[in-house]
Chain A
């Protein structure tokens, strides 16, 4: 059973565009929803995270939107840059431990 479903699998945008990556989860006990960024040959690095008591969180150019009733959350990257080209994983957990990851989205930002 896939605990967290992520889409799209890949995404190409022009520099300055706003890529949006979507995730959906099943387990209503999840209470922590992070997004990780992974560059080739590196481990996942925490980008931003949200808990279900808020519907939106913004850190710099990165925004998480959270819809508790729909059990969905998404990552928006404002003014995307070529350096944002990476694989992005959503995840979910009860507490911040034992994360269940989505399948990843490979983002390419074209200069």
Chain B
């Protein structure tokens, strides 16, 4: 069964550094998402992306965050200047046609020290 893959599985960075989290969505999917989950808390929506542009973003997704689909297979989340409170699991998800279920990757655990 095709799956969403994320790399790295764990990223440790110092406060103020830039990080890029990478995702390879399911190949024929058209809609891409980033969610985050602070340890022990609920999964929170960050951003959705379709047709090479952001379609919706939450209040969490401020100017420090950006997304990009640099080629036909990767989907990245960049945090420009990390803060301690950015420490969380970041999940990428993708879906096919509009209104089809989201498929999540296994996440990248980001630790900001």
Binds A, one of B11-19, B37-45, B62-70, B73-81: B37-45
Per the 8 Å Cβ criterion, residues 50-102 of B in contact with A are 56, 91, 93, 95, 98-102
Interface string of A29-43 (1 = CB under 8 A from B): 000101010000111
Q: Which of A32, A44, A49, A103 has the most CB of B within 10 A?
A: A44
Per the 8 Å Cβ criterion, residues 92-106 of A in contact with B are 95-104
Are A49 and B101 in contact, CB atoms less than 8 angstroms apart?
A: yes
Total chain B interface residues with beta-carbon distance under 8 A: 24
Total chain A interface residues with beta-carbon distance under 8 A: 22
Are B45 and A44 in contact, CB atoms less than 8 angstroms apart?
A: no
**A residues whose Cβ falls under 8 Å from a Cβ of B:** 32, 34, 36, 41-46, 49, 89, 91, 95-104
